[in-house]
Structure 1
């Protein structure tokens, strides 16, 4: 019974840590850049776009396709950084717990 109580306590602590981590991630803003910094996208930790900055030199009619590609690349850069930060923080929260590899949290 002592083991069960220890597991319940650990689960409660992990839940509190996860809630704290999720709140921190929601407040976090991560930037992605493309075109050598000509396009910058800022995302929240939840992946919501917060801002988009475009260097004025890109506003030429014949370069709209390039601009669109740079916006997508900057967004994808920021999104991959958000995902990496989320995984890193999740690893900290679940450190020492016997969680099977590849199991996605939160459930």
Structure 2
């Protein structure tokens, strides 16, 4: 606390901490856009890549599954790979958020952003 200012010094510290947290959250969000995860299905026959924010960035399909009679199977594999990538993206984002809260000394179960 700043001497002679009463609780204003504590408020100043709180504001500074809030600004630091906002800066770290912005940095984290930008970092999640650069981190990628890959989901797959069919033993790797279909692979979907997404950012840790969940944005699909690539889709790889093994040519061996392009058989006209297997159209529905291929569609199911594509959806499964995309869902797997999205799940992995959510998990990675949660890991990064937990890391940030630990670094800032916040409770592990605190939900950010508020």
TM-score past 0.5 threshold: yes
Task: Return the alpha-carbon distance in structure 2 between the equivalents of residues 6 and 73 of structure 1.
Answer: 48
Match of 2:46? 39
Q: After TM superposition, what 4+ stretches of structure 1 lie above 4 angstroms from structure 2?
A: none
Gaps of 5+ in 1: none
Q: CA RMSD in A?
A: 1.8
TM-score normalized with structure 2 length: 0.81
Compare CA radii of gyration and give the structure with the larger one.
2
Higher relative contact order (CA 8 A, sep 6+): 1
SS at match of 2:113: coil
Task: Return the alpha-carbon distance in structure 2 between the equivalents of residues 58 and 41 of structure 1.
Answer: 15
Match of 2:27? 20
Do the aligned residues in 1 keep the contact of 2:53 with 2:90 (CA within 8 Å)? no
TM-score normalized with structure 1 length: 0.86
Counting only pairs closer than 5 Å after superposition, residues 44-63 of structure 1 correspond to structure 2 as 44-63=51-70
Counting only pairs closer than 5 Å after superposition, residues 28-107 of structure 1 correspond to structure 2 as 28-95=35-102, 96-97=105-106, 101=109, 103=111, 105-107=112-114
Deviates more, 1:87-96 or 1:71-80: 87-96
- Aligned residue pairs, count: 105
1:102 Cα deviation (Å)?
6.6
